[in-house]
Amino acid sequence: MLILIIHQYQILKLQILISLFFPKVAGFHAVSNTISIEAQKYSAQLHKIQIIYSGLDLNKLPFQLKKFDANAMLRIVSVGRDHWKKGYIYALNSIKLLKDVGIDIHYTIIGVGTSEELLYQRFKLGLEKEVTFIDKLPFEKVLKEMGSADVLLLSSVEEGIANVVLEAMTVGTLVVSTNCGGMNEVVRDNENGFLIPIRDAVSISSALQKVANLPIEDYQKITKEARRTIEKQHTHEKMVMEMQAFYHKVLKSKL
């Protein structure tokens, strides 16, 4: 109980310090509208906030129009560290639900290594054949795994705008993402991916089952729309141009 009180005190102290500091900054760069709203809770001034999305070098991330086959095994991948915020327990529970209704699936989580909690959950659910855990990989190998998967699953309960989702949308892997943080600023449900509630294994399994039954034309339509979203909103060139303009604006305001 004493440890909890100390922890809460430290959080409150930090919140007070941030609230005192934020009004004094000349400019505030937010990577999403969600972050902008959060910053305003700590007294950041709206007229000083500039939303600039992360940008990708699309020349290094070529788009692949997949020959998706609804009759083949559904290959699902998640990428991220072993942390409760990633929501992997809900993802594993959803895989169990899919297995129980006869969906042929394989789920790979990259970045968790030998997490005792996840290993136990996999064992408890009887998913040793359906689920593979992989330790951290170099970026190039992550891209290869992502490119060979049918679905990138983001099961997080908290997130900003996950880079792994942007990368999957860029290379042509369909995204199923929880509606956390700023993810709805990128993923539009049933248009360029699928959005689902947080902490909801049933919704995850329903979305994945929907993907498993997609005709190839619909799968490709969604992934092409996802790539267009990235080209419009998340290019490296756009990010650099907007950051330069933002710095010039801030410097000009201080002269």
At 157-176, the pLDDT tens digits run: 998 899 999 999 999 999 99
- Of 9, 27, 52, the last residue of a domain is 52
Encoding tokens for residue 25?
């900054």
In the chain, the percentage of residues whose pLDDT exceeds 90 is 72
Closest Cα partner for 173 from 145, 200, 196, 199? Answer: 145
Q: Same structural domain for residues 177 and 63?
A: yes
d(CA 51, CA 147): 29
Q: CA angle 173-54-30, nearest 5°?
A: 135
In this prediction, residue 6 has a pLDDT band, given cuts at 50, 70 and 90, of very low
> Does pLDDT of 254 surpass 70?
no
Residue, of 184 and 44, whose pLDDT is higher: 184
> Measured on CA atoms in the order 102, 76, 87, 189, is the torsion positive or negative?
negative
Q: Same structural domain for residues 198 and 214?
A: yes
Q: What is the pLDDT of residue 11?
A: 62
In this prediction, residue 251 has a pLDDT band, given cuts at 50, 70 and 90, of confident
d(CA 119, CA 99): 18
Residue 40, domain extent:
1-52
Q: Same structural domain for residues 149 and 179?
A: yes
Q: What is the pLDDT of residue 241?
A: 95
| Domain assignment of residue 184, yes or no | yes
Is 134 within 8 Å of 109 (Cβ atoms)?
Answer: yes
Interval 229-234 mean pLDDT: 96
First-to-last C-alpha distance (Å) of the chain: 51
Q: Same structural domain for residues 42 and 66?
A: no
d(CA 192, CA 172): 10
Is 33 within 8 Å of 182 (Cβ atoms)?
Answer: yes
Interval 1-7 mean pLDDT: 47
Average pLDDT, the chain: 91
Residue, of 122 and 113, whose pLDDT is higher: 122
> Does pLDDT of 210 surpass 70?
yes
d(CA 29, CA 208): 35
Overall number of domains in the chain: 2
- Of 9, 35, 52, the last residue of a domain is 52
Instruction: Kindly report the number of other CB atoms within 10 A of residue 223's CB atom.
Output: 24
Q: Same structural domain for residues 29 and 13?
A: yes
Interval 207-234 mean pLDDT: 96
> Does pLDDT of 221 surpass 60?
yes
| Domain assignment of residue 252, yes or no | no
